[in-house]
Amino acid sequence: MSGAKAAAEILVEGRVQGVGYRNFARHRATLLGLAGYVMNLKDGRVRVRVEGARPVIEELVRVLEKGPPLSRVEHVDVRWLPASGRFARFDIRFAEFEA
């Protein structure tokens, strides 16, 4: 492993709020050893900001496309970013902040 870090912002659309999606995303990201956060957006989407090895992030994206049993994922948008290194673990954020 080269240890090269990648980062992505993943926006998930569909029935993804109130169905355990954030806990699902945090659990899976933590199992994969990724860092970052997941949060609900005011428009009904879920935002996942994640850092780690690109192949591992791609694996998380595949998991997020399925979602937990009560969710219905309609669309997943992935935007690749430079890694910031500012995340120590993967958390749930409970408020929407504009960056």
Give the 3-state secondary structure of residue 90. strand
Which amino acid appears at position 45 of this protein?
R
Catalytic residue among 22, 26, 28, 49: 22
Catalytic residue among 26, 28, 40, 49: 40
Of 29, 68, 71, 64, whose CA–CA distance to 50 is shortest? 29
- Go through the chain and tell me how many residues it has: 99
Is-catalytic flag, 22? yes
Q: Which residues contact 49 (CB under 8 A, 6 or more apart)?
A: 7, 8, 9, 10, 36, 37, 38, 87
Active site residues: 22, 40
